[in-house]
Chain A
Amino acid sequence: MDLALETKDLAVGYGGRPLIREICMQIRRGEIVTLIGPNGAGKSTILKSLTKHLQTISGRVLVEGTDLRTMSCRRLAEKTAVMLTERVSPELMSCWDVVASGRYPFTGRMGRLTHADEQIVMDAMRTVNVLELAERSFAAISDGQRQRILLARAICQKPEILVLDEPTSYLDVRHKLELLGLLRTMARQKGVTVILSLHEIDLAQKVSDKILCVKGDRIAGFGEPAEIFQDARIRALYGLDAGAYDTAFGSVELPKIAGAPQAFVISGCGSGIPVFRQLQKDGIPFAAGILYENDIDCRVARSLAAETVTEKPFCPISDAALERAGQLMAGCERVIVTDFPIGPCNERIRELLRKIPDGKKA
């Protein structure tokens, strides 16, 4: 196995006191590993310990088989590049200067760039689409632009291992996607190993080969996204008592409104989602039905509705479902019907529509 990075029984923390213990992970070359977990769980602490910014408490970190402790900063710099969360505000440095500093381990005694170095800097800036910022002062650009400049800096260090601490925190959605796409390309084409921390767990799920869940004094889980991203696991990791997280889509919903349903929604095929959200925002408890379990409305209704009447996929609507829906509808002040297709499977929904009490239809 071609291991880029391995930790054995690693304990990390500050001032000799361990914060997280028994971290064991094996990361193969060209893999993308994402650290997820709540604020303050110790994601940065782990990352800093992997880059020698923080002394490890016990255990070992092996970078391509070599113990990190016996490795000089210089040698490590030739292999790994970092992007940190701390703000840097260098005086009078242009963006070009900042990116070019990534060439540090490879330049001569006085740090002058050769023509080849300049080409590498330019390529890195072009890759991240920041070449037009080259002459701008680093202090005068936006946080998001700075983050991209620092990414270009890390890329131009030509690392084998790239360590990024919350690289997307200031980026808009387009640049988030660009960054993650770029990481995938680098990992796949150049075999760069990427270790990063993300708050956007939906993106973590989509970009990573492995996920490390950080919470408490032990690692809460390390494995492939399919294994980690299960509703219960994510709820426990972030302590989601209120609200819901949908692992299939990576979307979050606010907590449902409790109480006896005041409105009944008859919908299907996604047409009910805006209605559910509006009722939730207005603070009105509601029920929904009859929804097929594979209907996208059903996923959202389960998070937001006080009660959802469901039916098995592709089956005709049963009497039981019809009856329950009728009961709920009778107890509601109004019934909302959206526009959705009715076909051979769900044609009994017409029966339900006929049962709507007079004056309640909104």
Chain B
Amino acid sequence: MPTKESDEARLRQAGRRRRARYALVFLVLLLAFCAITVLNINSGSVRISLPEIARILFRRTGDAAQVSIIWKIRLPRIFMAAILGGALALSGFLLQTFFGNPIAGPFVLGISSGAKMAVALTMIWFLERAGNASSAALIAAAFVGALLSTGFVLLLSRRVASMSVLLVGGIMIGYICSALTDFLVTFADDANIVNLHGWSLGSFSGMTWDNVAVAGAIVAVALALVFALSKPIGAYQLGEAYAQSMGVSVRRFRVLLILLSSVLSACVTAFAGPISFVGIAVPHLVKRGLHTARPLVVIPATFLGGAVFCMFCDLIARTAFAPTELNISTVSSVFGAPVVIFMMLRRSGRD
């Protein structure tokens, strides 16, 4: 018969093991983050040695061309990949919480594509009249597009209880939006097409510090809000009814969840176009690694994991077939899709 003391000792030990595991996962993620940052700065069409990089980074001196490459091209791009990658993974995590299904994500539910279509429309409109589009207008457009798609998915989810029907619905919305975007791109003026085409397939190229500042501010606020929602998110994992019985005002919480995930994925789409599979694969891998779904640890780890994943994908996109650059979705699909397939197999095996 286990005594009170032995039970407590056992649980304390389990707690220690759990915390050690969290620490290890965060350590691995941070190391990967640093390593990929260095690799990203280091690789490209112009080779720059490590000591040179250190000098350029910390003292901003050296060959003017190299300083410019690092400070004007590579660093903003790295930051952007990190910020937007984190945002995308987090948006996926929120949608999974909302739908209570690990296969929900901004891309499969058609939210990214909705944002993409709205951004394409706005871009063409602005490019034809003003010659360029402000990032604020693009983000606003992406947000509206994302909310429209989400609204449609929500309407669908009220009519059908089955998650698979919902996912198919989301994928169809995605295709419709993509088709419309392609249509717009095909008939847009020649000068705009180059700009639009690259963006509509997803890419981190051509980021500026201004972009970084805007995206960074939006994502930071959203991340802080999501983190502050850790407690109700944890309750919601037991389902809506139990969450309510614990005192969560479910209606308000659901609205917040949808708004935050839409802001996050809209921000990504406005700057980098649609990026597939990050929103599903990263939260899944992070939760497996941590072996828990506690939002207090999963939220920061998911953000960090998304950052690492997108920086890694961007590195491959830039270097694998240099000087030709791949779309970011090409790479993220190659690494993300197998994870999703694996998840589905495991789930169907369990049910």
Report B216-251 CB contacts with A as 1/0, cut-off 8 Å: 000000000000101100110111011011111110
Interface residue SS majority, chain B: helix
A101 touches B235 (CB 8 A): yes
Do A91 and B287 touch across chains, with their CB atoms under 8 A apart? yes
Q: Which of B3-28 contact A (CB under 8 A)?
A: 4, 7-8, 11, 14
A101 CB contact (under 8 Å) in B241, B246, B292: B246
Question: Closest approach, in angstroms, between the C-beta of B209 and any C-beta of chain A?
Answer: 34
Nearest opposing residue in chain B for A77, CB measure: B247
A112 to B7, CA, bound (A): 21
Please tell me which one of the listed residues A72, A90, A112, A132 contacts residue B237 in the complex, with CB atoms under 8 A apart: A90
With A91-B237, A92-B291 known to touch, is A53 a contact of B244 (CB < 8 Å)?
A: yes
Q: Is A267 an interface residue, CB under 8 A from the partner?
A: no
- Measured between beta carbons, the chain B residues less than 8 angstroms from A94 are 292
- Name A's interface SS: mixed
Of the listed stretches A15-23, A78-86, A316-324, A329-337, name the one at the interface; the rest are far from the partner chain. Answer: A78-86
Give complex CA distance A97, B350 in Å.
21
Scoring B241, B244, B245 by chain A CB atoms within 10 A of each residue's CB, the highest score goes to: B245
- Cβ of A107 < 8 Å from any Cβ of B? yes
Tell whether A101 pairs with B242 under 8 Å between CB atoms, given A73-B249, A111-B296.
yes
Q: How far is the CA of A333 from the CA of B350 in the complex (A)?
A: 57
Assembly CA distance A105 to B4 (angstroms): 26
How long is the Cα–Cα vector from A91 to B293 in the complex, in angstroms? 7
Q: How long is the Cα–Cα vector from A75 to B248 in the complex, in angstroms? A: 10
Contacts of A77 in B (CB 8 A): 245-247
- The yes or no answer to B254 lying at the interface (CB within 8 A) is no
Give the residue name and chain of the A residue nearest to B230 (CB).
A110
A53 touches B241 (CB 8 A): yes
Judging by beta carbons under 8 Å apart, are A122 and B11 in contact?
Answer: yes
Verify B7–A104 contact, CB threshold 8 A. Answer: no
Contact, CB under 8 Å: A98 / B238? yes
Q: How far is the CA of A134 from the CA of B9 in the complex (A)?
A: 13
Complex Cα–Cα for A93 and B293 (A): 6
Q: Which residue of A lies closest to B234 (CB)?
A: A111
* A93 and B237 contact, Cβ closer than 8 Å, known pairs A77-B245, A84-B242, A122-B8: yes
- A76 in contact (CB, < 8 A): yes
Contacts of A93 in B (CB 8 A): 237-238, 292-293
CB–CB B244/A101 < 8 A: no
A354 within 8 A of B: no
Q: Which positions 275-290 of chain A face chain B at CB distance < 8 Å?
A: none
CB-CB under 8 A from A198, the residues of chain B are: none
B174 at the interface (CB under 8 A from A): no
B102 at the interface (CB under 8 A from A): yes
Tell whether, in the assembled complex, residue A104 and residue B293 are in contact, meaning their CB atoms are under 8 Å apart.
no
- Would you call A168 an interface residue if the criterion is a C-beta within 8 Å of the partner chain's C-beta atoms? no
Tally of A interface residues using CB under 8 Å? 42
| Cα(A78)–Cα(B247), bound, Å | 8
B293 near A88 (CB under 8 angstroms)? no
Cα distance, A132 to B10, chains bound together (Å): 10
Find chain A residues with CB under 8 A from B350 CB: 139
In angstroms, Cα B234 to Cα A310, docked, is 65
Residues 167-182 of B contacting A (Cβ, < 8 Å): none
Contact B245 A91 (CB under 8 A): no
Q: Does A339 contact B (CB under 8 A)?
A: no
CA distance A135 to B12 in the complex (A): 11
In the complex, the answer to whether B293 meets A105 with C-beta atoms within 8 Å is no
Collect the chain B residues with CB atoms within 8 Å of residue A97's CB. 292, 294
A92 x B293 contact (CB < 8 A): yes
Knowing A53-B241, A122-B7, the reply to whether A104 touches B294 (Cβ < 8 A) is no
Look across to chain B and name the residue whose beta carbon is closest to the beta carbon of A154: B245
Contact B241 A90 (CB under 8 A): no
Residue of A nearest to B233 (CB): A111
A322 to nearest B CB, angstroms?
Answer: 60
Within 8 A of A (CB), among B272-297: 287-288, 291-294, 296
Least CB separation from A112: chain B residue:
B296
Q: Take A73-B249, A122-B11, A135-B14 as given contacts and tell me if A52 and B244 are in contact as well, using a CB distance cutoff of 8 Å.
A: yes
Q: Is A361 an interface residue (CB 8 A)?
A: no
User: Known: A74-B247, A77-B246, A122-B11. Contact between A101 and B287, CB under 8 A?
Assistant: no
Q: Which chain A positions have C-beta within 8 A of B296?
A: 110-112
Q: Is the CB of A134 within 8 A of B14?
A: yes
Across-interface contacts of B287 in A (CB, < 8 A): 91-92
Nearest residue in B to A102 (C-beta to C-beta)? Answer: B246
Contact between B239 and A86, CB atoms less than 8 A apart: yes
Query: B2, B235, B239, B288: which contacts A104 (Cβ < 8 A)?
Result: B235
**What distance in Å separates the Cβ of B187 from its nearest Cβ neighbour in chain A?**
45
Q: Which A residues from 134 to 180 make CB contacts under 8 A with B?
A: 134-135, 139, 157
* Alpha-carbon separation in the docked complex, A110 to B8 (Å): 24
Given contacts A122-B7, A131-B7, A135-B14, contact A73 B242 (CB under 8 A): no
Task: Report the bound CA distance from A102 to B244 in whole Å.
Answer: 12
Query: Taking the complex as formed, is A355 at the interface, i.e. its CB lies under 8 A from any CB of chain B?
Result: no
Report the separation of the CA atoms of residues A212 and B309 in the bound assembly, to the nearest whole angstrom: 58
In the complex with contacts A80-B245, A81-B245, A92-B292, A101-B7 CB distance below 8 A: no
Residues 20-63 of chain A, each 1 if its beta carbon lies under 8 Å from chain B, else 0: 00000000000000000000000000000001110000000000
Instruction: Considering the complex, give the chain A residue whose CB is closest to the CB of B298.
Output: A92
Q: A92-B292, A118-B11, A126-B7 are in contact. List 4 more A-B contacts (CB 8 A).
A: A97-B292, A101-B235, A101-B242, A102-B246
Can you pick out 10 interface pairs between chain A and chain B where the beta carbons lie within 8 Å of each other? A84-B241, A86-B241, A90-B237, A90-B239, A91-B102, A91-B287, A107-B231, A110-B296, A126-B7, A134-B14
Binding site for B on A (CB under 8 A): 51-53, 72-78, 80-82, 84, 86, 88, 90-94, 96-98, 101-102, 104-105, 107, 109-112, 118, 122, 126, 131-132, 134-135, 139, 157
Task: For the complex of A and B, list the 9 residue pairs with the smallest distance between their C-beta atoms, beginning with the closest.
Answer: A77-B247, A111-B231, A104-B246, A74-B247, A92-B293, A82-B245, A105-B247, A90-B237, A88-B239
